[in-house]
Amino acid sequence: MKRRKFLKTTALSAAALGAAPLYSHVMPKKKPNVIIILTDDQGYGDFSCHGNPILKTPHMDKIAEEGVDFTDFHCCPVCTPTRGQLMTGLDALHNLSCCVTSGRTLMRRDLPTMADFFRKGGYATGLFGKWHLGNVYPDRPMDRGFDKCVWFKGWGLQSEIEFDNDYDNPRYLDGTEQKRASVYCTDLWFNEAISWMSQQKGKDKPFFVYLPTNVPHMPLWPPEQYASLYRDKVGPGAADFFAMIANLDDNVGRLNEWLKKNGLFEDTIVALVTDNGGTMGREAYNAGLREFKASNYEGGHRCACFLRWPNGGFDAGLAAATPTQVQDLLPTLLELCDIPSGKAAFDGVSLLPLLRKKQIKDRMFIVQYGQRQRPVKYDAAVVWKQWRLQKGTELYDIEKDRGQKTDVSAQFPEIAERMKTFYEEWWAKLDPALNSPIPVLIGTNVENPVMLTSIDWWEVDADNINFVSQAVGGPRGGVWTVQVESEGNYRIELRRWPFHTNKPIGSEGPRVTIGGRPLNHKYKLIPAREAILDANGIEKKVRLEQDGVGAVFEVNLSRGKSRLQGWFRDAQGTDLCGAFYALVTKL
């Protein structure tokens, strides 16, 4: 890669930046297209342009070479909060989508999303891949501003919903229609995005594409033709992880070539972003950062962000070292595309001044999410210039101590106190609604029936096939909070296993395979002989046969919020585990 020019510090001086203009913001007559690629679990160090000595990512690196690499860019340490921040421009604890599970995956419904803004600004909007911000109306991507939605429910193709899905032959949704493909999942998302963009090309309308992949998140199932690329260089986990990235990188290269071939390259903004810190690749290289995904130390939330717009006047190969965050992308893109934000308020700021070689406002910002359950005070990082305040007490100078090995709070008490005060003022202003669930809507004219899953159990962590298979979540599981839109009788069917599998409650469940290879994970047998439904404190019971797949109840629900909970008992009356799935039908 060619030598890159660095932008550093927060208050940027003309002398430090040189005389050549970085960004001459002369808005072209035609609005640029916008593509955001968001990869899942690819760490800051999982790029050859960031120094990885083993992994090769030439096509993703090319975006940085031809645009700007924000080298001090921050997301949340896990995926859903990052996605909510990207879509709203607000901190996770402000938009309320602050956890990957535990009933905290939904964004506030009064907030416009990035797709809403682009649609209102005259853009066609499309999503291709992972959403993870709501599975049912009004929280699906088509309800939050996207015209075209090729997606799947849950956090991945092996979430508690998809369960037995296959990367090589994936089930997915085209809008609300379930389909199955015969290509690798990453190839599918890019195929569908390119096909849709081809349709938009002939129309007098720019497009906004959000392309969030489910790779290289576990399970580590690379395409067969990539599987051997790194086997002799790293351990088997990192090898498969890197192989998935290699396939992703080739798809990015294919997208770049398509843009050039169709005359769209110069007038398309492409942003490539990662959603949290390193995972499987860190055993080979972690860019000197402390810890990894889920951590509030630097290795958990420093992420990659490359931004390219050939006709935008970016200084190719620039490395911008000023601290920035994923919440900045929405206001930045709106300004670049000349789309008004109206009365919307953002925690992020437009980075256009930075791109113009002007000063960006000196600021602090906070990295925090709900780790499994409700957010805890001081379980956060405060970012300011080179300083990082961890847990409200530990202070690190990232410039001198990238690995955060030495706490310098005693040496710089005034800095630590200033950052702690900023955090406490921020915390004091949090909405009390943060500690109340956003209810799932049932009984609407848009979607009936509605599927409830354990991802929406309030403050109970049970969002993947291992949790379901091992019957975690306590002897009664968790509570679903629903909003009844239409008063009347409801049919509620409880299941232990996903509905599409039709597996008996007492069985070991579906066997999961990928490309004919079994996925080895543990199963806990449940000798269920009774199912219980608690609707607003009133319990109903249904006897179960040994080979029964579910239990059906009928209840009358009044309009407004309701509390539902279902679980299974054995013949002796001992509570065994929650019902991980409930299908709720307004009769």
Give the pLDDT confidence of 139-186 residue by residue, as tens digits. Answer: 999 999 999 999 999 999 989 998 889 899 999 999 999 999 999 999
CATH, residue 382: 3.30.1120
pLDDT reported for residue 439: 98
Residues 354 and 371 reside in one and the same domain: no
Task: Write the pLDDT tens digit of every residue in 419-429.
Answer: 999 999 999 99
Name the phi and psi angles at 419, rounded to 5: -70, -35
Residues 214 and 293 reside in one and the same domain: yes
pLDDT reported for residue 23: 37
Segments forming the whole domain that contains residue 520: 439-586
pLDDT reported for residue 79: 95
| DSSP labels, 168-185 | SS-EEEETTEEEE-SS-H
| SS3 state at 272 | strand
Q: What is the mean pLDDT of residues 79-85?
A: 97
Nearest partner of 92 among 331, 424, 351, 380, judged by Cα = 380
- Distance CA(205)–CA(114), nearest Å, equals 17
Alpha carbon distances (Å) from 130 to 151, 343, 434: 6, 29, 24
Nearest partner of 535 among 561, 504, 507, 512, judged by Cα = 561
Task: Write the pLDDT tens digit of every residue in 250-307.
Answer: 999 999 999 999 999 999 999 999 999 999 999 999 999 999 999 999 999 999 999 9
Residue 99 has pLDDT above 70, yes or no: yes
Residues 379 and 524 reside in one and the same domain: no
Whether 210 contacts 115, CB under 8 Å: yes
Residue 520 has pLDDT above 80, yes or no: no
Residues 82 and 122 reside in one and the same domain: yes
Residues 423 and 520 reside in one and the same domain: no
Residues 176 and 277 reside in one and the same domain: yes
Residue 29 has pLDDT above 70, yes or no: no
The residues that bridge with 149 in the sheet, in sequence order, are: 127
pLDDT reported for residue 512: 74
Residues 289 and 415 reside in one and the same domain: no
Residues 140 and 199 reside in one and the same domain: yes
* pLDDT-derived band at 580, boundaries 50, 70, 90: very high
Q: What is the mean pLDDT of residues 11-37?
A: 54
Q: What is the mean pLDDT of residues 365-392?
A: 94
Q: Which residues contact 565 (CB under 8 A, 6 or more apart)?
A: 476, 477, 478, 479, 480, 533, 534, 578
Q: What is the mean pLDDT of residues 471-497?
A: 97
Tokens of 555: 């209840």
Q: Which residue has the tokens 């009347």?
A: 488
- To the nearest whole number, what is the mean pLDDT of the chain? 93
Residue 74 has pLDDT above 50, yes or no: yes
CATH, residue 546: 2.60.120.260
pLDDT reported for residue 408: 98
* pLDDT-derived band at 517, boundaries 50, 70, 90: low
Comparing 244-258, 448-462, 508-522, the range with the smallest average pLDDT is: 508-522
Residues 524 and 556 reside in one and the same domain: yes
CATH, residue 21: 3.40.720.10
492 or 515, greater pLDDT = 492
Comparing 155-169, 378-392, 423-437, 501-515, the range with the smallest average pLDDT is: 501-515
Helices 236-261 and 185-201: crossing angle, nearest 10°? 10
Among the candidates 339, 361, 383, a domain finishes at 361
Residue 434 has pLDDT above 70, yes or no: yes
Residues 524 and 578 reside in one and the same domain: yes
Residues 188 and 249 reside in one and the same domain: yes
Among the candidates 404, 434, 464, a domain finishes at 434
Residue 337 has pLDDT above 80, yes or no: yes
How many domains, the chain? Answer: 3
Residue 198 has pLDDT above 90, yes or no: yes
pLDDT reported for residue 515: 61
pTM of the model: 0.95
Comparing 210-224, 309-323, 382-396, the range with the smallest average pLDDT is: 309-323
pLDDT reported for residue 163: 86
Nearest partner of 430 among 380, 361, 363, 362, judged by Cα = 380
Residues 156 and 236 reside in one and the same domain: yes
* pLDDT-derived band at 4, boundaries 50, 70, 90: low
Tokens of 341: 């934000």
Nearest partner of 232 among 49, 45, 54, 48, judged by Cα = 54
Q: What is the mean pLDDT of residues 474-502?
A: 97
Comparing 283-287, 337-341, 427-431, 517-521, the range with the smallest average pLDDT is: 517-521
Alpha carbon distances (Å) from 490 to 409, 446, 500: 58, 16, 21
Residue 537 has pLDDT above 70, yes or no: yes
Q: What is the mean pLDDT of residues 329-345?
A: 97
| SS3 state at 504 | coil
Give the side-chain half-sphere CA count within 13 A for 167. 23
Q: What is the mean pLDDT of residues 345-373?
A: 89
Among the candidates 434, 463, 486, a domain finishes at 434
pLDDT reported for residue 15: 27
